[in-house]
Structure 1
Amino acid sequence: MGTIAKMFVFALLGAALGSDHLVADDATRPDLKPLLGEVRKLVEKYYPKAKVTLKDQTIHFEFNTRKFMIHEPLLTGEWQDAVETVGPQKGGIWGEIELCPGRYEGMLALPQTFDKRYFTQKLTFSYSEKLHHYLHIQLEYPRNTPKDFIEEFEALMNKFDAYVIVKGK
């Protein structure tokens, strides 16, 4: 996703989430390390040289990516100038998983899949009633991505609350 597009999506998410999305201090922040371990295990099963990281409440992974120049349509139907976007090449993968408090109330109806010409971008979320948190998930993959990876990834995201530790619950 291009810088401008990311800023737009995050602005929409921030406006929709309001003050409920403020970052908690480290003592009350849910522990994502067990989920990170499961994501790492799955991603490295299909992409052994992938980089999988955790920063704040976001898990990020990528392998075999590069910068693409992607044109996006405007609401008027015209095309904007190309925006530089990092995405996966053939045989690559890119993903970001952010844990957010409460229910998803964003303006974007999810799940949605977008054809970025060079790869597919899937935006979705997974909610846990038990944790009263949701995952905001962005997965980018080329056409040759193993269907098993996508199915296993979706299954893991749907049961994420088994791997997230919330203090005091």
Structure 2
Amino acid sequence: MRQRLGLAQALMEKPKLLLLDEPTNGLDPQGIIELRSLIRRLAGSGVAIFLASHLLTEVEQVCDRVLLVREGQVRKHLDQKRVTKLALRLTISSETDLDPLREWAREMAVHIESVEDSPLSVEFATEKSTPQVVRELVEAGVNIEEVRKVRRSLEQEFMELVEGK
């Protein structure tokens, strides 16, 4: 209730700029959903909102532009309206396809970001076109069941920044 009261006090003055620091802290799930909706409505009405949060999935849901800050310095600016980096998610037929896939990735200097089971899928970012990647992987002996472009999450962007890549 303290979070809600503080927000209500800030909104009574009809601000043009609203600074929010960890606004969902202490809110129940319904309160979080209501707050997200309120933030979107306020932004749509012309209120500039600066939201500071460590909850990157929350930031993705409400922010148009994101600044990633490390050691007090802005390290990256992301425009969420534009798809920044796309990754490919491939579903492959079996574990025997992992070795040629990893070999291809090593030769092409592509970092495989995740490998998941059930269904067996891998995700990686590449500058190459999707048809070119599929062609190269099939030629390398990888049996591909499905290919999807996926938007890289803020968590992935942040981890890339933290790891210094």
TM range (shorter): under 0.3
Larger radius of gyration: 2
Which structure has greater strand proportion?
A: 1
* Structure (1/2) with the larger helix percentage: 2
- What's the TM-score once normalised by structure 1's chain length? 0.22
